[in-house]
Structure 1
Amino acid sequence: MNQTETQKRTALLPMIICCALFFILGYITWANGALIPFVRLAFNLQTDLQAFFVLSASYIAYFFLALPSSWILDKIGFKNGIVLSLFLIVAGALIILPAATQLNYILFLLAIFVQASGMALLQTAVNPYLSIIGPIDSAARRISIVGIFNKTAGIIVPFVLGSILLKDYDSISAKVKELKIGAEHDALLEELSNRLHGPYIGVGVGVAILALIVFFVKMPEVDVNKEEINIDETAKKKNSIFDFPHLFLGALAIFFCVAVEVMAGDIIGTYGRLLSLPPFFIKYGTAFTLGCMLIGYFIGIATIPRFISQQFALRICTVVGITFTVISVFTSGFTSYIFVALLGIANALLWPAIFPLGINGLGRFTKTGSGIMIMGIAGGAIWPLIYGYLKDSLGIDFQHAFLYAMLPAYFYLLYFAIKGHKVGLNLK
């Protein structure tokens, strides 16, 4: 049996575990879509801007944890890093329980941040691990498979959490508004917030079981330093990560990439509510957007690089994103809502195209560069707040506020697709 066949055999169990890990990442990340309308009601928040801090607490963790995660993994290894990340997710799920009981929104946001810290460490660990556990020539196939699990989880979670957390949303919302502050009002909010207990106890137990499986199952440990055999000639002449301007332009592109993903995937429920659509579309909006992302993902698998390059795909996606955004703003009702969901198709290929362009040619600086790129995920923390500020504080119509938030992001991504990814690399 040759080495490749051996690798394929030894990679099977880790591959199954990686699929489970990416499912968890997708499930918890896209749970935010269902949480936004829920927390506004359960915690009696006055504006959408306050509810959008759920997204900020989640995505800002990537900014603070991406580079420290690389240091942690160097010290304890990939397998132990995965186990640690999973127990951080469990800790966050457990903190949510007293936050719900006490109706303490600050504690709830802290719980979301702790969970996201675990996910930041998990992202930093599992992505390179996934690439190395098998033959390098089949890495793209492995990434495609786990990506499908990730997006599928994102489609499922709005239906699971929506049916539990947002059950009878309209009638309860109306009753909360009618009741004066007092015992009956507080009892209704307490009953509503207690709906969080079941889902997050389930998440805690499920993730803890997976952590124990990872800990006790024999998984191949990898050394990424041994993988760096061929160092780019250009990178050999560089003395610092700051000698690669295209990397930082790429990190900013990831910032805007995640910003538009979150705007289309997590804000769509709020958008549907403001369009006065039926509760079904408020509860399950994230699933519609992620379903469109899944379609875009399969399009990318079929076309890149056989028919189009990563750079050209990025240009097409940004132009489509701009077009769909404009249509969503200058239409109304269900048509407007549909074009927000269709942004999932435009957004699906942004990350796969941006990330390799951003770390292109880094050589021995690739690991540090990857951490810097991951920091760009913080775009998901900032952009919803900007949208909420435009809408709630400046009084701009919610559709025009959406336009003002989305267009600058897409125009920067178009710049990166055309020119930004070549800065400092002497590429034509």
Structure 2
Amino acid sequence: MKKSIHNPISVDQLTSQQKVISVIIIAVLFFVFGFVTWVNAILIPYFKIAFDLSHFASYLVAFAFYIAYLVMAVPSGYILKYFGFKGGMMLGFFMMAIGAFLFIPAGAYRIYEVFLTGLFTLGVGLSILQTAANPYVTILGDKERAAQRFSIMGISNKVAGIIAPLLFAAIILKPEDKSFFENLSLLPIAQKEAALDELVGRVVVPYMVIGFILVALGLLVKYSPLPEIDSEKETDENSSSNSSKKSVLSFPYLVLGSVAIFFHVGSQVIAVDSVINYAQYHGLNFLEAKSFPSYTLTATILGYLLGITFIPKVLSQLLALRICTCLGFILSLGVIYVSGHVSLLGHHTDVSVWFLVALGFANSMIWAGVWPLALNNLGKFLKVGASLLVMALCGNAIMPMIYGYFADTEGLRFAYWVLVPCYIYLIFYAFYGYNIKSWKK
């Protein structure tokens, strides 16, 4: 039996103050999402050293974390349907806390598989939260300003992404680690193992603190003034045309949009999570290269700010999507083909590293452009449609693994060829796929 949702209200019944409060709460959630997610940019190269992993094996960090979106996307929709948005989000936070606490035994015994289990559990909780939060952003306001609201959420997410790797690195890395990393292979086996045990153990306390914070956030969200929205009643002026629709698969633009999200998030996480290794490949040490994920996310924030400023007054969110997808295609080719050392922001490295950083800007308005187009006019299918899009976040799991395989077998620069088909498809969706209303056509 479906559990009753306490005091559900439609979006039309929300006051302006309730909408503002809701947007602020969701922005805080996106900050938490970003902090937990983008710290993986440090964990991947950190675990690569601590467990002596190949590129492919190190990207199991991203795989374990993001594959949870594929596993939990559809169940997340039913969880929200049963417990309501607020109860479901509290459950999501509690699941994330369990994942964070798994880092305690994983760090104490240096077991990579337990770390991966913890990351998967974090991803399970986050998939529930994402399934709830993104529809809020879409429906809490005018459709034409949805990209603006997503940009605000994106800024909150990416600010956390800038802070997380730098803060986490400041906690777990020490100045003397530079010489340690350089001479690690020369140490006797017993001394090396002891040093790696100590290295891995540094992550225990930070994740224990994160776990307690996540528990507190779950309780705060449950008892916050965030309104409980009954999306079964969320319809628009065109929703009556969906009365003949049997499932979300009857919406081609939604299904194609899900594939677009898959390629977008996959290309985005490759740009952020691989940039440290790629900068090291071009001569920078780990302690210097650790800043590059923050540069990439700063470029993304710049794109968000421009989006907030110019959408929809100067350009539509559709045009912004088209510009960003084309720019992403051009920059990915620049990473592959353009070479030459440059000095920028105190770093002397290959210019292709900065093309990779610039992909952060190109990726900024793609998510904000695809979500409103894919969720447009779904009516009663909104929750399940959102679940389908969240399922596509498994692109974060699969695409880095493909990149890691080619990085090991063909070289780091060649591996960025995986970005090219991603942006080709995104261009297709931005110019044509979003407007396909029937499979028959």
- Provide the TM-score with structure 2 as the length reference: 0.88
Partner of residue 400 from structure 1, selected from 391, 409, 414: 414
Deviation string 1:205-249 (CA, Å, 9 cap, x unpaired) is 222222232334454322112322544354233333322222221
Runs of 4+ in 1 over 6 A off after TM superposition: 3-6, 133-140
Counterpart position of 1:270: 277
Contact 2:236 2:377 in 1 (8 A): no
CA drift of 1:16 comes to 4.0
Cα distance per residue 1:324-348 (max 9 Å; x no partner): 1222222143411111101111001
Structure-2 change in CA distance of 1:317 and 1:288 (3 Å): same
**Distance (whole Å) between structure 1 residues aligned to residue 324 and residue 142 of structure 2:** 30
2:373 alignment partner in structure 1: 357
For 2:401, which of 361, 385, 397 is the aligned residue?
385
1:8-157 maps to which residues of 2 (within 5 A)?
A: 8-11=16-19, 13-45=21-53, 47-130=54-137, 143-157=150-164
RMSD: 2.6
For residue 76 of structure 1, report the CA deviation from its aligned partner. 0.9
Q: Which of residues 338, 347, 350 in structure 1 aligns to 2:354?
A: 338
In 2, the alpha carbon distance for the partners of 1:350 and 1:143 equals 10
Greater per-residue helix proportion: 1
Quick check: 1:38–1:165 contact (8 Å CA) kept in 2?
no
Q: Which residue of 1 aligns with 2:389?
A: 373
Instruction: Tell me the CA shift for residue 372 of structure 1.
Output: 0.8
Structure 1 residues 5 and 369: CA distance shift in structure 2, 3 A? closer
- For the 8 Å contact 2:231–2:380, the answer to whether it is kept is no
Q: Report the CA distance between 1:315 and its aligned residue.
A: 2.1
CA–CA distance in structure 2, aligned partners of residues 376 and 4 of structure 1 = 29
Cα separation, 1, equivalents of 2:247 and 2:222:
37
Q: Percent identity?
A: 37
5+ residue gaps in structure 2?
1-10, 341-348
CA distance in 1, matches of 2:23, 2:322: 32
Alignment correspondent of 2:302: 295
Q: Give CA-to-partner distance per residue, 1:162-214, whole Å, 9 cap, x none.
A: 222343443222332112322x2221011101110221122112222222323
Match status 1:415 vs 2:438 = no
Number of matched pairs: 421
On the 8 A contact 1:8/1:135 being kept in 2, the answer is no
Distance 1:58 1:28 in 2: 10
* Correspondent of 2:178 among 159, 170, 174: 170
- Whether the 8 Å CA contact 2:86–2:228 is kept in 1: the answer is yes
Give the deviation of 1:263 after TM superposition.
1.0
- In the TM superposition, what is the alpha-carbon distance from 1:160 to its structure 2 partner? 0.4
SS at match of 1:348: coil
CA contact (8 A) 2:318 2:430 kept: yes
Deviations 1:127-179 (A, max 9, x none): 33455678989876654433322111011111101222343443222332112
Counterpart position of 1:247: 254
Gaps of 5+ in 1: none
Q: Give the alignment partner of residue 237 of structure 1, picking from 210, 231, 244.
A: 244
